[in-house]
Amino acid sequence: MIPQETQYLRRHIDEVVRVAGLSKGIRVIEIGCGMGRYTLLLAKLGFNVEGLDLSPFLLEKLSEFGSGRYRIPLHCADIAHPPAELLGQFDALVGFFTLHHLHDLLGSFKAMIRLLKPGGCLVFLEPNPYNPLYYLQILLTPSMTWKGDGGILRMRRGIIFRAMRDAGCSRLGMTRFGFFPPFLSNRPWGQKIELILERTPIWRPLLPFQIFRGQR
């Protein structure tokens, strides 16, 4: 999770920017920013981004990795209880692989939507629970556990849309993309083949990444 710029991560950023319709003049907050794997890339691309995370240790690491290059406002808080001064301040709220770690989706969405200005959007990039490789990854990766990552099972359209709708979100949408792991998608030929495979109908339900979008 150490921040570094790769084509694999840039693709994640590009897809979220496209779906959210982000522009560089708006105010954006990333939920669960951690050590800044995506936060620093967004800042490098010129976005007016802020970060929120529960862990002061991870936020300190983000500041270290940033090395003073970017003035990214950081907020240490539980998303269920966001700081009062942040309410209604953001044009967009984004998250990268954050939702599947949250135990109370409805409560979290209710809190997150309060951070947005009227008409603001929230967009989350999450793993596709119908892709079997995620479960193999949990099994084989020492740093991953079913307790910590089993929330992938809840990243289904019906569950997420219901929580978003009950929290007051409208204009819901979902899209999927990707195909290869990093060591292949970081290669130029891998990117080209990936784009072709994404368009093949038989693979679409299994594409590894999915983006959920809603609007206040």
**Residue 118 pLDDT class (50, 70, 90 cuts):** very high
Domain architecture of the chain: domains with CATH: 7-215 (3.40.50.150)
Single pTM value for the model: 0.93
**32-89, pLDDT tens digit by residue?**
999 999 999 999 999 999 999 999 999 999 999 987 788 899 999 999 999 999 999 9
- To the nearest 10°, report the CA torsion of 53, 86, 66, 39: 70
Sign of CA dihedral 25, 31, 34, 38: negative
Residue 190, pLDDT score = 87
pLDDT recorded at residue 1: 63
* More reliable by pLDDT, 117 or 187: 117
